[in-house]
Amino acid sequence: MDGQKKKILVVEDDAMISSMYKTKFEAEGFAVLVADDGAAGLELAKREKPDIIMLDVILPRLDGFSVLEELKKDPLAQAIPVIM
């Protein structure tokens, strides 16, 4: 890597699952951001520009498909890979 940690955004409303991902990814050397609902995930994605997003489908406030749709409309966020 270029000296800076790659950033992963995990958007997951189940605290146990997001904690598991955060622990594993940090152990592998990634910087991890976590959002527990779709609206917070969308805001974090636009503000932090992560290298990749792990996005749950069923989320409070804004579901995963809506988050993905909004990300793809944003020229600054549309190139971020998303795993659902």
For residue 2, pLDDT over 70 is answered with: no
Q: What is the mean pLDDT of residues 51-61?
A: 97
User: Residues 31, 61, 30, CA angle at the centre, nearest 5°?
Assistant: 5
Match 């995990």 to its residue by tokens.
Answer: 10
User: Residue 3 has what pLDDT?
Assistant: 72
Residue 79 DSSP class: T
Q: What is the mean pLDDT of residues 71-82?
A: 96
Tens-place pLDDT, residues 19-47: 999 999 999 999 999 999 999 999 999 99
Distance (Å, rounded) from C-alpha 45 to C-alpha 3?
21
Mean of per-residue pLDDT scores for the chain? 96
Separation of CA 29 from chain center: 16
Distance (Å, rounded) from C-alpha 34 to C-alpha 11?
6
Nearest alpha carbon to residue 38 among 8, 17, 68 = 68
